[in-house]
A = this chain, B = another copy of it.
Amino acid sequence: MKKIKVVKKQILQRKGDLYSKSYKVESGLLRSYTIDEKGKEHIFMFGPEGWIVTDYVSPKEPCELYIDALEDSVIIPIEKTSTQDIDLKKFIKRIRVLQNRVIMLMSASAVDRYEHFISTYPNIIQRVPQHMIASYLGITPEALSSLKSQRLRSKQ
């Protein structure tokens, strides 16, 4: 249970790495993401204080996601092999978030996904640049920008 400090932009895990770990976030903010063949980033999750950021692959397999720090952070690396540490409740919560995310991606428009995001994670909005919100929502920064101004106009 060693706490370590990481600085903004520090990369903790790259796609393809073996023996990957989970990271419990004490303070700061991490993210996990993929990079597609066109070089575009797709954010899988944001991990603020209290969250565990991990790639859900066995430590024996090459991992799928990149993990880096969006803010200077204090984190606790956890070996994936230590199953006794697994917090089942957090696990179930996470799977619910993912279920919701899949449903949103399949059935909701970009505007609705944005509305949902800001009401679910209001604090994340202030801490990360817009293009990362866009990346999480599965749209381009340009689309998010115009969606926001449309939203503003329609509210006044």
Using CB atoms and an 8 Å cutoff, list the residues of chain A in contact with chain B: 34, 36, 40, 42, 44, 55-57, 64-65, 83, 86, 88, 91-92, 94-96, 98-103, 105-108, 138
* Cα A85 to Cα B4 with chains together (Å): 36
- What are 6 pairs between A and B in contact, CB < 8 Å? A56-B92, A83-B88, A95-B98, A98-B98, A98-B99, A105-B105
* Cα A108 to Cα B38 with chains together (Å): 11
Q: Is the interface of A mostly helix, strand, loop or mixed?
A: helix
Q: Are A95 and B99 in contact (CB under 8 A)?
A: no
* Cα A103 to Cα B108 with chains together (Å): 16
* Cα A56 to Cα B88 with chains together (Å): 13
CB distance from A83 to the nearest CB of B (A): 7
* Cα A40 to Cα B109 with chains together (Å): 14
Which residues of chain B are near A44, meaning CB under 8 Å?
99, 102-103
Q: Are B56 and A99 in contact (CB under 8 A)?
A: yes
Closest to A58 in B: B92
**Which 10 residue pairs of A and B lie closest in terms of their CB atoms, listed nearest first?**
A106-B138, A98-B98, A105-B105, A56-B96, A36-B107, A42-B106, A42-B107, A56-B95, A56-B99, A95-B95
Say whether, besides A86-B88, A91-B91, A102 and B105 are in contact (CB < 8 Å): yes
CB distance from A41 to the nearest CB of B (A): 9
* Cα A40 to Cα B37 with chains together (Å): 32
Which residues of chain B are near A106, meaning CB under 8 Å?
42, 105, 138
Cβ-defined partner of A95 (8 Å) among B40, B83, B94, B100 = B94
